[in-house]
Chains A and B, each alone.
Chain A
Amino acid sequence: MHLAFLIALVLLVAAVGASLALGAKPIALGTVWDALWNADAGNEEHGIVRQLRLSRTVIGLAVGAALAVAGALAQSLTRNPLADPGLLGLNAGAALAIVLGSVFGGIQSAAPQAALALIGAAAAGALVYGVGGGGGAAAPVRLALAGAAVTALLAAVTSAMVLADQTVLNQLRYWLAGSLTGRSGLDFVPLVVVVAVLLALAALTTRPLAAVALGDDAAVSLGVRVGMTRAAVMGLVVALAAVSTALAGPIAFVGLAVPHLVRSVTGASVGWLLALSAPVGAATVLLADVAGRLVARPGEISVGIATALGGGIVLAVLARRMRTVAL
């Protein structure tokens, strides 16, 4: 398992390198290194690395890790292989809240948007979980359907808002498709720090979560406060999804696919699942972003579309392998 972790880290470093070096204008790794540590203000390539690619790499790292861990937490907690912040409507709720803030309040900067995102994601999550939660043989499907319904509704309202207001449309169009470049300047940095803090908190929930995953009765008899653990984990999932959406728009399926991938290596151990999901998730988002840049040169396919494509496939495959009850 430690070996797997090492491999994941290596993969991550490679992804970071690719993200900084590749794109419309490929830049040698040596130059990338220089650009990071010995920047020359006049050098055009250094400028590209520092101005354009560094921020999107950092955002990609944060978003990938956040979404993957959020998905891992949600799947472990709800014992539902289909739990994913996108499928649970969290991203749609966060996105709508941000759009509303932009249309009615002109809110553009990262921190207030993140706060709005939190409220939106929490509200959507509460609705989805309220309707689709609970147990039973068909619980995964019910949750997914509740999520699909809420997402459809929220997405429809969001597109109506966006298409009605030209200025909002121009600012948010790319962000809404999920993109690592929607943020200018450095106002995203506090959000990245928040992600780091949330990930650390997630690590703390590992053991209680492992107990809760055994069922309420078993968890109580193991001395775990089930209610508190549930609330804490759900809060983390919502927060991670909200901050991620505030950073890069609604990106789906990273939270679904990455934990499944990781679990095929780690088994049911919650600790390793979380530990590996973060770097693998970050690498996935970065690689999807790089692929989007390369495949559609000189334009690009936004990350959101790439992950929706890949993730939809993963979901379809999961449907094949799921053990569901026949009606």
Chain B
Amino acid sequence: MSTPRLTAAQLDLAYGKARVVHDLSLTVMPGAFTAIIGPNGCGKSTLLRALARLHRPQGGEVTLDGRSLQSLPTKEVARELGLLPQSPTAPAGITVRDLVARGRTPHLGPFTPWSAADADAVARALHATGLKGLADRPVDALSGGQRQRAWIALALAQETEILLLDEPTTFLDIGHQYEVLDLLHGLADEGRTVVAVLHDLAQAARYADQVVLMSAGLVLASGSPGQVLTAQRVSAAFGLPVTVVPDPVTGTPLIVPSRAPAARTVHAVDVRPDVDHTEATLASTDSHERTP
């Protein structure tokens, strides 16, 4: 295992007077997929932003290779850390290729011309995200999942070892969510360090190597999904009594509420659609999306 490069030490993060993260220390596992989870307002996005150099710490520091992030030249950091921002908006009408090409910015000075190496990096990023066929389409014409992949491709074109993603699956259809997660998993497999803020606990359990559970600005636990996602910890963090069962497919922790919906008189409902379209729908989706 390679040495950890990105760490946070005694981090204090605040918005104005409101302190969001308290004295937080964290070592990001290199070459692995780390998921940061926790209830809304626990500071997980703020933590990610601090790791991405978007939020200046009020106390403590984030270090990259032992050097404080704030002290490093911006361009140098940009060559090491790639970011998928939360709800990114692309300029109107921009094509996928153009968008991804902007990921080369940290490698280009004001007078450096566009070279074959840059074009190669873009091509590789498009290939890795399965967007080669869509490269000349406008980004706003893509589906949610495809758009996220385009932004990830931008970060990939940056050719950074570390990728930070702020809620990459929020607002996506379930199919697209897993599309993105599979991609991230593949990237971690290649040896990149992937850190993502996720809100779905089961997804974090399935995909992450390291899970960081936060609550109220503190890290409650950090470790493998099995270690972190215990009934007691999740209940404490989210304020809901839960039961943890093994995921029937992967065996990773699956969180379900302990209490069933209140009993009520159930009126028998007879489900009998006039025509069942399920088979036809399945047949058509098979022939669509999956090809890069």
Chain A residues proximal to chain B, CB less than 8 Å:
76, 79, 81, 204, 207-208, 210-211, 213-215, 217-218, 220-225, 263, 267-269
Contacts and interface: CB of A to CB of B under 8 A. Distances in A.
A134 to B, nearest CB: 14
Contacts of B106: 222-223
A199 to B, nearest CB: 15
B78 A223 contact: yes
| Overall SS of chain B's interface | mixed
Contacts of A79: 89, 91
A105 B158 CA distance: 55
Given A217-B83, A217-B88, 19 more contacts: A210-B105, A211-B102, A214-B99, A214-B102, A217-B85, A220-B54, A220-B74, A220-B83, A221-B53, A221-B78, A221-B81, A221-B85, A223-B76, A223-B78, A223-B105, A263-B93, A267-B94, A268-B93, A268-B94
B52 interface: yes
Nearest to A220: B54
Contacts of B94: 267-268
Nearest to B90: A214
Contacts of B103: 222
A39 to B, nearest CB: 40
A218 B81 contact: no
A215 B89 contact: yes
Interface of B: 49, 52-54, 74-79, 81-83, 85-86, 88-95, 98-99, 102-103, 105-106, 108, 110, 151, 154-155, 158, 164
Contacts of B105: 207-208, 210-211, 222-224
Contact of A215 (B85, B92, B164): B85
A224 B108 CA distance: 11
Contacts of A218: 83, 85, 88, 151, 154
Contact of A217 (B54, B90, B95): B54
Contact of B91 (A208, A220, A223, A268): A268
B79 A268 contact: no
A223 B85 contact: no
| Residue picked from A215, A217, A220, A222, most chain B C-beta under 10 Å | A222
A223 B102 contact: no
Contact of A220 (B53, B102, B108, B154): B53
Nearest to B112: A207
B224 to A, nearest CB: 28
> Closest 8 interchain pairs by CB?
A223-B78, A221-B83, A268-B94, A217-B85, A223-B106, A223-B75, A222-B105, A268-B91
Given A215-B88, A217-B54, A222-B103, A269 B98 contact: yes
Nearest to B75: A223
Contacts of B54: 217, 220-221
Most chain A Cβ neighbours within 10 Å, of B49, B77, B89: B89
Nearest to B92: A268
